Amino acid sequence: MARLLDVKGLQTQFFTQDGVVKAVNDISYTLDEGETLGIVGESGCGKSVGVMSLIRLIPSPPGKVVAGEVIFNGQDLLKLKDNEIRSIRGNKIGMIFQDPMTSLNPVLTIGRQISEALELHLGMDKSRSRKRTIELLELVGIPMAADRVDDYPHQFSGGMRQRVMIAMGLSCNPQLLIADEPTTALDVTIQAQIVDLVKKLRDELGMAIIWITHDLGVVAGLADRMVVMYAGMIVEEAPVKELYGNPRHPYTLGLLGSLPRLDEVRDEKLESIEGLPPDLIALPQGCPFYARCKYRIDKCETENPSLHSVGVGHGVACWIDIDKDPITTENPWTEV
């Protein structure tokens, strides 16, 4: 498969009164055509900022992409002029945002909001874009699409609004769809509907997807490859089965251990990761996970490991090998 996206050394910072918030720190990853990449991490780990930086949606000031390249179809998106990036956003790259309740304009009809992109990017006239909008609504499973195209967002339920957002993201047949926690605000049964729909559309339309989430469960059945982020850095990258079956970073291991699983009852306690992520204004000199890591050694405090390969397509940023090296600190957080 051809390479679609190549992110190299991306760094995004926010210049605030309290100091420079280093939200994304030197991340690199690639995406092939038709591939689904899951990016997981906790709130504030830079997963959304990292992806919004790709399409230059970081509010500036205070935010700024300070370094890096984003090669999409052979051109660097960070070097494009404003009108050039505008012709790619919503066209070649579609987006679905987290909260379907607030990302639709309440005073415009659904049809108007979807057809806007069609008229702008594909130069359709009113009647053709309306026809295409109805087709899109049918594609995402909205019943009686021809009647509902003139409804306003408040007339739709949460799940239906997220379907409208998906229709909007797909309107111009994008090569890449960026989904930023698209199911977080929805109930589980609706989440299952949406995930199922996205899978079906991906197989039909063959676009690549970047799916951002904090829920390791949702992406397990959806992604081909996974990236785990912590404090604005990529700490582990692996094919999906490899990541869940053979996690190599203590943070990934901790995350998986802290999830209760529906298919097994564990009578022992959950393995929680004690403590809190570091302050992004004052990042530690060494590994960002040092303060919470059970496997840490002295080197971790002073030198930040970079991503190195431990298997086919499997990279991890850690000095130790959790399969071989022993646990050094039982209660890392209290012993700092």
Alpha-carbon dihedral 161, 166, 167, 169, rounded to 10 degrees: 130
Contact pattern for another protein over residues 38 through 57, marking x by CB under 8 A: ----xx--------------
Residue 62 Cβ vs another protein, minimum distance, rounded to whole Å = 21
Stretch that binds another protein, among 18-26, 50-58, 156-164, 303-311 (CB under 8 A): 156-164
Q: How crowded is residue 224: how many other Cβ atoms within 10 Å of its Cβ?
A: 17
Contact criterion met (CB below 8 Å) for 172 and 94: yes
Type and span of the H or E element at 165: helix 158-170
Contact pattern for another protein over residues 59 through 98, marking x by CB under 8 A: ----------------------------------------
Complex with another protein: residue 262 or 312, whichever CB lies closer: 262
Residue 37 Cβ vs another protein, minimum distance, rounded to whole Å = 14
- Identify the residue among 20, 122, 190, 322 touching another protein (CB under 8 A): 190
Q: Is residue 196 within the footprint of another protein (CB under 8 A)?
A: yes
Q: Is residue 192 within the footprint of another protein (CB under 8 A)?
A: yes
Q: Is residue 157 within the footprint of another protein (CB under 8 A)?
A: yes
Q: Is residue 104 within the footprint of another protein (CB under 8 A)?
A: no
The amino acid present at 37, given as its one-letter code, is L
Q: How far apart are CA 220 and CA 255, in angstroms?
A: 14
Contact criterion met (CB below 8 Å) for 18 and 55: no
Q: Is residue 152 within the footprint of another protein (CB under 8 A)?
A: no
Q: What is the DSSP letter of 172?
A: T
Contact criterion met (CB below 8 Å) for 98 and 181: yes
Stretch that binds another protein, among 21-29, 99-107, 167-175, 270-278 (CB under 8 A): 270-278
The amino acid present at 318, given as its one-letter code, is C
Q: Is residue 215 within the footprint of another protein (CB under 8 A)?
A: yes
Complex with another protein: residue 82 or 263, whichever CB lies closer: 263
Read off the tokens for 24: 């994304």
DSSP assignment string, 105-164: -TTS-HHHHHHHHHHHHH---HHHHHHHHHHHHHHTT-TTHHHHTT--GGGS-HHHHHHH
Residue 41 Cβ vs another protein, minimum distance, rounded to whole Å = 9
- Give the footprint of another protein on residues 122-151 (CB under 8 A): none
Read off the tokens for 294: 């059970």
Residues that bind another protein (CB under 8 A): 42-43, 157, 159-160, 187-193, 195-196, 214-218, 220-221, 240-241, 244-245, 254-263, 265-266, 269-274, 276
